[in-house]
Amino acid sequence: MKPFTLVLLLVFGTTVAQNSISGTLVTENQQPIPAAIISLLDAGTNDFVKGELSKDNGYFKIENIANGSYIILITSLGMKDYKSEVFKLKGMAKNLNTITMLENTAELSEVTVVAEKPMIEVKADKTVFNVAGTVNAIGDSGFELLRKAPGIIIDNSDNIIVEGRTGVLFYIDDRPSILRGQDLVNFLKTLQASDIESIEIITQPSSRYDAEGNAGIINIKLKRDKSLGTNGTVASSLTVGDFARTSNSLSFNNRNKKTNIYGTYSNFFGKRASFINLNRTQNGTNFNARTQNVFDNNRNNVRLGFDFFANEKSTFGIIVNGNFNNSNSESDSRTPITQNGANSPSEILVAGSDSKNRTSNIFTNLNYRLKDTLGHSLNIDFDYGKYDSKRENLQPNRYFDGNETQILSENIVFFDTPIDISIISGQVDYEQNLLKGKLSLGVKYSKVKTDNSFDAFDRTNGNNDLDESQSNDFSYDERISAAYFNYSRKLKKLSIQFGLRMENTISDGILTSLLGDQNNRVKRNYTNWFPSGGITYQANRKNSIALIYSKRIQRPNYQSLNPFQYRIDELSFRQGNPFLQPQYSDNIKLSHTYNYRLTTSLSYSFISDFFAQVTEAVGNDQNFIIQRNVADQEIINLGISYPKKFNDWWRIYFSVNAYRSIYKATNPDFVSISQNTLSLYAQNTFTLPKAITFEVSGWYSSPSVWGGTYETKSLGSLNLAFQKKFLSEKLTARLGFNDILFTSPWQGTTRFGELFIDGNGGSDSRQIRFNLTYNFGSDEVKKARKRQTGIEDEKNRIN
């Protein structure tokens, strides 16, 4: 036991001396000066090296400074700039003691502080899309906003693709989201873009992050004002497509020196339409299904948080998230059935689907953070989530003769499929200075329990008779234990980072059928190691090169493992696969950044046990959609993004991804395929007279492969938007026109075994949208806080 204790003391108790500089800023009246900008400059070149902000008591400290000669430059609104003499640092802590800054006595009738973050920031470990830097910050949902982010593509089934790869893990404010699949999409569609501060795209996460997600992590940072006082935003949006719908949100933040209370409420009410046409050839018969869908949604999201600042080192917090969705959907499908060589159908299937879905998700987080002035920090998180879904579905299926004048047969079925999921997790992260760098250590444990029931009924004369051959119960338990270390250090112009994460997964899936012979059980226990690392070279202030590697895992969604059969109509259904294996990816990326704006990247990924969504034949006339491990995938991606401000009235932004996907079959029924794809997003923003902003934007995707099986044709969208601010820029009005040419519907073909499908689909994406957003709170408080953004940008670029 003593050797283990000694190791803990050595690891957690070691403090390595670093060059640092500190001091306290006061006025001539000895009042502290908060939020002043302290810049550390190289004495030889006058280049910016590091920066910091003074605290409320005027104190500041800059740590981890390399040996050398420096100058300190201090600026603060209303004060004269302060510039120190040249001083040297060599393995020491320099204290400037108290610095008295003089008041700037120049008369100012009005002071306007403008601190606008760039729309795109490229950093060593991530790309940051600052939402406030685009007109799209107003009116769009969080989901629609993702399409504008660099390197992100959204396909025809709302799947999110990052640099050519599917399987991305979502974080909300640096914490993994409990939502998956369609529930996550629904949440993002309810979230207002005006409530989002930034979107971080982390394609090569370090060992500190969960290893889940082949395509990396998308971290959505919600707005949370750090200034004292009360601030907030109210937004309301009306969208008209085939139907009218509305979304609304309210966010607020109240902060004082000891506490911070913040929250967001958002909703979505109304109907939307979609269509899908699948022309299927199977065993010499053609099934030409045409389906129209109408979804009536009532979604509500609530997020409340509270922070208590016990002292300068310790913070306690609690976050509660609630997502509630009541939705009804109606589908009408008509499928002519024609024998090959015949001129007219022999029969026609007319099917409908009336579904009611009620879901609720409540997630709670308790957290504690300790951070001292010596570089030690400790974070403790405890999370609990509960997800409930109640779904009922009525499906009448009627076969008519070829002239659709006589009913040949009728089958009406009813399904009751409740789902309960509970998630509990705990995580501890520790960080300290070590050997002139930063060492991070952490452990995490999570447990997921799902209970699913699938009760199928035959409806006759209004009565439901249980179909025991189709009714099942499925339970799935999963436990993941993880531990990691990560180390980073800066060596002059070179920064290194490396780490290793271990995850042990124990899962147990049990299918219980009313017919005992259909019972099934799948148990797994496996341990994986996930190395990661990177090197960043800052050649000069304008050029930076980074080489990053990470290994990732993509576990199947819980519903993908559920073997229940969800009918689309009597001939087509969707089924889960309890034998679906995780897929693994090795990712390496080389990137170059010029002038903190133009970024060019080249990445390569190899994904083993890729699981695709395939359509398989059943008998002579039925088919089902299922996920299977069918191939190994290689992806080579070239990405370029560039924001450019030409003058005061015109700025542009474009993001390009060109990638090659290669699928090498490991299943004999899967056809090996390769495809070159070009994805483009571009945006022109113009400032017109009367302070009106006009934006022309659009996205385009060339022919691609969707889900590993569908070869899709090109698609895209052209959008226009006008924006005007009123009431001292507190009120913003926006009028937008989306997909004005109606070019976003998809078309594609797929073949698996002897089954061939030619399909197309889409939604009422051609829309008119009007939005109003109002910011309330103190202008003076906001402007005082905004002074830090410039130095924060520089700190993040250099460190």
Alpha carbon distance 156, 760 (integer Å): 9
**Tokens 């989306």 — which residue?**
738
Q: Where are the alpha helices (DSSP H) in 110-244?
A: 142-146, 181-190
Alpha carbon distance 336, 346 (integer Å): 8
Specify the pLDDT at position 517. 61
What value does the mean pLDDT take over residues 162-171?
A: 84
Portion of the chain with pLDDT greater than 90, in percent: 37
Name the pLDDT band for 10 (thresholds 50, 70, 90).
very low
What value does the mean pLDDT take over residues 764-772?
A: 92
> Residue 778 in contact with residue 143, Cβ under 8 Å?
no
Q: For residue 214, report the phi and psi dihedrals to the nearest 5 degrees.
A: -60, -35
- With 50 as the cut, is the pLDDT of residue 786 above it? no
- With 80 as the cut, is the pLDDT of residue 150 above it? no
Task: For residue 712, give Cα distances in angstroms to 420, 745, 746.
Answer: 36, 11, 7
Task: For residue 98, give Cα distances in angstroms to 95, 104, 189, 444, 656.
Answer: 9, 19, 51, 43, 51
Alpha carbon distance 248, 266 (integer Å): 6
What are 315-352's pLDDT values in tens digits? 999 999 998 999 999 999 999 999 988 989 999 999 98
What value does the mean pLDDT take over residues 60-76?
A: 85
Tell me what the pLDDT averaged over the chain comes to. Answer: 83
Question: DSSP assignment of 525-588, as one string?
Answer: EEEEEEEEEEEEEE-SSSEEEEEEEEEEEEPPPHHHH---EEESSSSEEEE--TTPPPEEEEEE
* Residue of higher predicted confidence among 237 and 462: 237
- Domains of the chain and any CATH numbers: 14-100 (2.60.40.10), 120-798 (2.40.170.20)
Alpha carbon distance 39, 787 (integer Å): 13
Most confident residue range from 282-286, 426-430, 573-577: 426-430
Specify the pLDDT at position 282. 87
Name the pLDDT band for 448 (thresholds 50, 70, 90).
very high
Alpha carbon distance 36, 43 (integer Å): 21
Alpha carbon distance 103, 100 (integer Å): 10
Alpha carbon distance 131, 118 (integer Å): 9
Strand 87-89 with 68-75, pairing: antiparallel
What value does the mean pLDDT take over residues 367-379?
A: 89
Specify the pLDDT at position 533. 92
DSSP-assigned letter for residue 3: H
- With 70 as the cut, is the pLDDT of residue 469 above it? yes
Specify the pLDDT at position 11. 34
What are 95-139's pLDDT values in tens digits? 888 999 988 755 444 444 444 456 666 665 677 887 765 554 555
